[in-house]
Amino acid sequence: MGRGPLLSADPLRDHKRAVLDADSVREAYRRWAGVYDAVFGGVSAPGRRRAVEAVNGLPGTRVLEVGVGTGLALPKYRRDKRVVGVDLSREMLEKARDRVAGERLSHVEGLLEMDAESMAFADASFDIAVAMFTASVVPDAKRLFAEMSRVVRPGGHLLFVNHFSAQDGPRWWVERAMAPLARVLGWHPDFATTDLLDGTAIVEAIEPCAPIGLFTLVRVRNGAAGGD
C-alpha cells in the first residue's frame, strides 16, 4: 500500500467509523471527566498554550472554543477576549464551570452543552473559533470545519490544534497499528489534515508545537478577507 492519507476512500468504512464515534463520544468523556486533567493535561499543555497564544495575538474579541472540555485553556486567554465554550459532554462542562467560578474568569461569557457539528449560534457570531484536540474525535471533521466557518465572520480565523498523522516513517506504522483500538476510544491516530480541510481552505500557517511536534497548530483565514 502506498504512503499518504491513511483514511479509507471507501465511504461505507468511514460511515461505520463515524457512527461508532457518535455513539461513544459522550460516554467516553463521561468516564474521563474526573481524571482528564491529570491524565491528558500535561501532554496536551504545549499545544494548548500555543493555540491560546495565537488566539491572543489575533484581532477581534469574540472567541469560540469548540470542545472546551474541562476548561484547561480558559485561564490563558487575554482578559479583553470574550470567550464562549461549547462541549458535547455535560460532565466535562461541569468541571469547566467549577474552574471559571474558582478562578473568577470573568472573560468567559458562557459554557454551553452543544454539538459542534450543529451549533445554535447565528452566522458570523464570532471573530475567532479554536478547536483543541477536538477535530479527530468528532464524527465528521469536515462538517465541524464547515460549522466553525459558518459561525465565524468572513475574514476571521479558525484555529485547530491536533495530532495529525505522519505521512511516512516509523510513526506512520505505529499510528496505523494503533488505529483500531483508538477508534473504539473515539480518537483517530491516523487523522490527516485532508480529513479536516477541503480544497477551498485559506491556510495561513501550519506549525508543529513544542517540544517534540506531537501536535500541530493549523490557522485558517475564514472565507474572503473582510475587516481586520
pLDDT one digit per residue (tens) for the chain, 228 residues = 233 232 333 332 343 334 345 455 655 665 555 555 545 655 668 889 999 999 999 999 999 999 999 999 999 999 999 999 999 888 889 999 999 999 999 999 999 999 999 999 999 999 999 999 889 888 899 999 999 999 999 999 999 998 776 555 544 555 555 555 455 444 555 678 888 998 889 999 999 887 666 788 999 999 854 444
Nearest to 215 by CA among 159, 177, 170, 169: 159
Its pTM stands at 0.76
Cα-Cα-Cα-Cα torsion 205, 209, 213, 218, nearest 10 degrees, comes to -30
The CATH number that domain 11-169+184-221 falls under is 3.40.50.150
Contacts (Cβ under 8 Å, ≥6 apart) of 28? 185, 186
CA 63 to chain centre: 14
Q: Which helix (H) or strand (E) holds 65?
A: strand 62-66
Say which residue the cell 459532554 belongs to: 89
Domain range summary for the chain, segments of one domain joined by +:
11-169+184-221
| Residue 218 to residue 197: CA distance in whole angstroms | 10
